[in-house]
A = this chain, B = another copy of it.
Amino acid sequence: MTAVEDRPTTGPATREANPSATAADRPIGFGRIQRKEDPRFVRGKGRYLDDIVLPGMLHGAILRSPMAHGRIVSIDTTEALAHPKVHAVVTGKDLEALNLAWAPTLSADVQAVLATDKVRFQGQEVAFVVAEDRYAARDALELIDVEYEQLTPVVDARTALAPGAPVVRDEMEGRTDNHVFDWEAGDAAATDAVFARADVVVTQEVVYPRVHPAPMETCGAIADYDAVDGKLTLYETTQAPHAHRTLFAIVAGIPEHKIRVVSPDIGGGFGNKVGIYPGYILAVVGSIVTGRPVKWVEDRSENLMSTSFARDYIMTGEIAATREGKILAVRTNVLADHGAFNATAQPTKYPAGFFHIFTGSYDLEAAHCTVTGVYTNKAPGGVAYACSFRVTEAVYLVERMVDLLADELGMDPAELRLRNFIRPEQFPYPNKTGWEYDSGDYEPTMRLAMRMAGYDELRREQAEKRARGELMGIGISFFTETVGAGPRKHMDIVGLGMADGAEVRVHPTGKAVVRLSVQSQGQGHETTFAQIVAEELGIPPEDIDVVHGDTDQTPFGLGTYGSRSTPVSGAAVALAARKVREKAKLIAAAMLEARPEDLEWEKGRWFVTGDPTQGRTMPEISMAAHGTIELPEGVDGNLDAEVTYDPPNLTFPFGAYICVVDVDPGTGHVTVRRFVAVDDCGTRINPMIIEGQVHGGLADGVGMALMELIDFDEDGNCLGGSFMDYLIPTAMEVPDWETGHTVTPSPHHPIGAKGIGESATVGSPPAVVNAVIDALEPYGVRHMDMPCTPARVWAAMQGRATPPV
């Protein structure tokens, strides 16, 4: 275990792994090198979906419901069809004829591709126009005449299960309420018993409101159906091309080998690009109907109003402890608003995702949670957004409850956490809801964050400021994530489990290609995965191409989300490269006329033990593998390997975050003055990319804590349909990040890496909210819900109920 304060990146990237680093802290494959994809991106040469223009391509647009709940009386498309540039108008009736009106989602639900009987949320897809250009398609939408009979919507999840509530999903046979599922984890009786004998119990309703991933690029698709070959090429903004291919094969009846899903450069995913949106299917239908490629790209408002939302959890949290500050148990009941359709919440076998990691980083005697999901007349919810499904909510709840407990006990929140951490010797640690945490050493991580922040000095400063009437808050969050979704037996998407493939192929001249089932949405896969191969084979990263995002070119796998890429595909890549290395050993032995067991590996070269002059480099071995030498028995003439990796367990990265805020007592405006983030994601590959991931996630978390909210009025109208209404942080709202790291490798991952993509998004909101509430201590504020907008903070200071925003 090494604890290191990250130095800012200045000067050119060093090509050598830091020779003074300890073994555990040694970055992989030349470490802090510049990203291979950046020459393309910084020159504006990325190729995003909307950059793709196919010959003869038409353009689609979607007519959407203006109301949250209504019965469709009639749809008249006559005028739209008469538009001279319109090639086709598709309605739900047309799709019914094709048996495509309803499509399975990645969860156990179905979703209307185009509404047939009713509209169930504002923005729901009602009709699809295909026209010569985007402008004509949008114009023609206004020529479609839809008559609705307005119905009372279910907007508040708290009322969804009330007797007499309107039934959102009444198309389902025998459905008379809005109940989606009930689920529990942990031992209720044992937890109740612990609570009964606890000295202190703190209870609080904690709401994680509905937010949106708001990626830079909206969603879109281009479908190109070739009637001669019967082959569908589908360009999509997707994080999961292979799963989509299989799903399309099942849904649309196009054989799987006749479907190619291409995910080009993607401008941000964060979970928003996991699901299959109606627009994708409509583009396919449009292409089949017109015989031409059809492009459909959302505008910003469509993306914000209709694509899958995250969170929307109303959590009643309870924490039990002794008077001395030993935390004994946690429990919670959750009401989960899933909107009108379950989109992508439950590809796991747990309908509440991984929420049961809500036991946090603490050694507890018991824990229990229940989650009840409900349908409402809102856009499909329950998506993963920069977290392994529901981990963000879990971490937020427990870290809020720990702060409430510290407040109740009159104890410093850092001290309370330090007293209750799972101890290093307890790993692998079985928590009380069924997880086995792979590895951890929490105290040094916490201590590094406190040292970097100057925690004691901050508390002194806070006391002085309070004495002057200034509102300074210090917020702590210590999180443990569960990421790297797998093993395959935990998941089930239309029969598919969670495993990911990687192929490594070394060309004759010693250059290599890596083919991955996972796809980058900006995370730097082209660099990171080349570095893993570089580490294993000694080939420089620039000599390794990374291919992804094309089902025709890559092995099968479940895709990128839940920080899976490095924990799952990173393992597959490392193991495939090791297979190549072992094969290279046999060939080198033949070349050197030595026994394989007499060879040693170093820096891309097999050599005879004791005689380093007798060796063969990877390019030499590769040319021989493809060459004319006699190969050993059972070795065929390539240096290729494929591995599909099913992780034996998830990985459990963790971190300690400390946020310092100042609150304006006159306006309630919150300024994040400092943010210290110490992350432990196990073995680190490229520290620069890791820091970039952390920086982005921290901004994300600050945004959720302070400004982001998708709200609805009482009629179910979405109030967050533009960036004027849905605020996201800019460089003005965030401080210079102070990052550090510790390294506790995962014991079951081939290179010990745990994944870092979502840590900061998961870990930072409680630190910010805890800091705001800490700042408001002089006003007796015990809790307030996100986002901590000036109006809400000011209301809290006045002891008033939380205003909408």
Contacts and interface: CB of A to CB of B under 8 A. Distances in A.
A511 interface: yes
Contact of A257 (B45, B229, B511): B511
B497 A246 contact: no
A186 interface: no
Contacts of A507: 245-246, 249, 256-257, 556
Interface in A405-442: none
Nearest to A55: B53
Interface stretch (A82-90, A212-220, A625-633): A625-633
Given A507-B246, A507-B256, A511-B255, A555 B638 contact: yes
A642 B489 CA distance: 27
Interface of A: 39-40, 43, 45, 228-229, 245-246, 249-250, 255-258, 488-489, 491-492, 495-497, 499, 501, 505, 507-513, 543-545, 547, 552-553, 555-556, 623, 626-631, 636-638, 640, 642-646
Given A256-B509, A547-B552, A499 B637 contact: yes
A46 to B, nearest CB: 10
Given A543-B255, A643-B636, A509 B249 contact: yes
Contact of A489 (B510, B630, B640, B645): B630
Contact of A256 (B511, B555, B637, B642): B511
Closest 7 CB pairs of A and B: A257-B511, A497-B628, A499-B637, A636-B644, A256-B507, A638-B644, A637-B644
A250 B39 contact: no
Nearest to A36: B229
A638 B642 contact: yes
Given A627-B488, A638-B642, A543 B257 contact: yes
Given A509-B250, A628-B489, A638 B501 contact: yes
B545 A257 contact: yes
A69 to B, nearest CB: 36
Nearest to A514: B257
B228 A39 contact: yes
Given A39-B228, A509-B246, A638-B644, A488 B628 contact: yes
Contacts of A510: 256
A512 B630 CA distance: 32
Given A257-B507, A488-B627, A496-B623, 6 more contacts: A256-B508, A488-B628, A495-B623, A497-B629, A499-B637, A636-B645
Contacts of A246: 507-509, 626
Given A496-B626, A508-B246, A646 B636 contact: yes
Contact of A556 (B258, B508, B545): B508
Contacts of A637: 488, 497, 499, 501, 644, 646
A492 B512 CA distance: 22
Contacts of A630: 489
27 contacts: A45-B228, A245-B507, A250-B509, A255-B511, A256-B508, A256-B511, A257-B544, A257-B545, A258-B545, A489-B628, A495-B627, A497-B629, A497-B637, A499-B636, A501-B637, A501-B638, A513-B552, A552-B553, A555-B640, A556-B626, A556-B638, A631-B646, A636-B644, A636-B645, A637-B646, A638-B642, A640-B642
Contacts of A556: 505, 507-508, 626, 638
Contacts of A497: 626-629, 637
B489 A629 contact: yes
Given A644-B636, A644-B637, A628 B495 contact: yes
A278 B747 CA distance: 56
